[in-house]
Amino acid sequence: TTTGYIWNTLYGWADTGSGGIFPPSVDALTQPIAHHVAHPDTKRRLHELISASGLIDSLRQLEPGPATREDILRVHDAAHYERILSESALPKGGDAGDGVSPFGNGGHHIALLAAGGAIEAVRAVADGTVRNAYALINPPGHHAERATGRGFCIFNNGAIAAAHALETLGLQRVAIVDWDVHHGNGAQDIFRESSKVLNISVHQDRCFPSDSGFRDERGSGDGFGYTLNVPLPPGGGSGAYEYAFDAVVLPALRAYRPELIIVASGFDASMMDPLARMMLRADGFRSLARKIMDVADEVADGKLVCLQEGGYSPYYVPFCGLAVVEELAGVSTGTADAFAPILGPMGGDALLAHEREAVDAAKELLADIT
């Protein structure tokens, strides 16, 4: 069993601007800082750990090509695509759509290469070239909606890859499991009315976007029941996440029986992340990966594609990502989580009563999946 892996040098060249608050404003005394919080070095450091640990030698490297206009228009409005292309031609680039998601001159090419990486990972898993795959793509995608980019995301890589699987590879049912700490609002918007995509997002309640990701957002029309949100209270660690997976995510996948599972894999639910307040450690991500692999084996012939989303701790993202890719590949490099001695004693392993309540309240969402 091989694991596919995608990284491209250009993913590390995404220009996220000068940093500071959005926009950096000297008038408002928000001093610019060296790096935007979404600087691509964090993801490059994960790629470097995958290399330095030797894990890369056990992976089958796949080559991404740029997504085409047709690939993008399966899920986005033409106006959004054209706007990104024209802003990308400006000397200083543009913004994905919400004013906090800058990209540099030529940034559209990197965004197309990220979407193309997602497509290539799905192709390779669907046609059996590899059993599963980790696409370490950048920029991320899961906040991008049909008509706009948002939250550091230009094009919705995961939705584009799912639509590619449905419309060109002949698949009928694809599930997206989004463990990024933020809400997967993009796929929710794009596939709201479709039962061909089951979109499950487990996230910190009201982290971002703060006005979406509630349990009562369930899709509409034919898609009713195929949008599942599991908002968790801040502070949850492996106890809360493992219970959310065991009680809601895995039963939903068993009920839906997708032919392919796409994971929106952010590492911003980690204890070290500056943008959220959850408490997973690298081992916690490893066990979520294990759970999804087991259910993929059960219902989807093992077909599983992980796509990189967020993660903002340059210290810790590499260890979280290494754990997940090791698990996918069934290989241990023996690389210790360098932060475990500090983070281990901080807790987060127990399921607390208010976390159990939040997950239990989401169990009723399973009823309408057929």
Which residues are catalytic, by number? 143
Q: Which of 268, 273, 327, 337 binds ligand 6DK (CB under 6 A)?
A: 268
- Find the shortest distance in angstroms from Cβ 143 to ligand 6DK: 5
Which residues make Cβ contacts (< 8 Å) with residue 185, sequence separation at least 6? 142, 143, 145, 150, 201, 209, 212, 213
Q: Which residues pair with 198 in a beta bridge?
A: 175
Q: Which does 44 bind (CB under 5 to 8 A by kind): Zn ion, ligand 6DK, none?
A: none
**Which residues have a Cβ under 8 Å from the Cβ of 3 and sit 6 or more positions away?**
58, 59, 60, 130, 131, 132, 133, 134, 325, 328, 329, 330
Q: Would you say 288 and 245 are in contact if contact means Cβ atoms under 8 Å apart?
A: yes
Q: How far is the CB of 99 from Zn ion (least distance, A)?
A: 18
Q: Which of 78, 169, 80, 185 is nearest to 125 (CA)?
A: 169
Please identify, using beta-carbon distances, which residue of 268 and 355 lies nearer to ligand 6DK.
268
* Nearest to 11, CA basis, from 159, 163, 115: 115
Segment 172-191, which members bind Zn ion (CB under 5 A)? 180, 182
Measured in residues, the chain has a length of 370
Q: Which residues on adjacent β-strands are paired with residue 6?
A: 135
Residues 147-166 that bind ligand 6DK (CB under 6 A): 151-153
Question: Residue 328: in which H helix or E strand, if any?
Answer: helix 317-329
Per-residue interface string for the shown chain with ligand 6DK, residues 292-331, x marking contact by CB under 6 A: -----------------xx---------------------
Q: Is 208 in the site for ligand 6DK (CB under 6 A)?
A: yes
- Taking the C-alpha atoms of residue 197 and residue 191, their distance in angstroms, rounded to an integer, is 7
Which of the residues 127 through 146 are near ligand 6DK (CB under 6 A)? 140, 142-143
Positions in 36-55 near ligand 6DK (CB under 6 A): 37
Which does residue 45 touch among ligand 6DK, Zn ion, none (CB within 5 to 8 A, set by kind)?
none
Partner in contact with 37, chosen from Zn ion, ligand 6DK, none, beta carbon below 5 to 8 Å by kind: ligand 6DK
x-marked contacts with Zn ion along 289-328 as a string, rule CB under 5 A: ---------------------x------------------
| Residue selected from 20, 213, 266, 348 as contacting Zn ion according to rule CB under 5 A | 266
Centroid of chain to Cα 77: 22
The number of angstroms, rounded, from the C-alpha of 108 to the middle of its chain's C-alpha atoms is: 19
226 scored as a contact of ligand 6DK (CB under 6 A): no
Interaction with ligand 6DK in 84-123: which residues (CB under 6 A)? none
Which single residue brings its beta carbon nearest to ligand 6DK?
Answer: 310
Kindly list the distances between the CA atom of residue 13 and the CA atoms of 72, 83, 105, 151, 283, in Å, as whole numbers in the listed order: 21, 21, 11, 18, 29
For Zn ion, the binding residues (CB under 5 A) are: 180, 182, 266, 268, 310
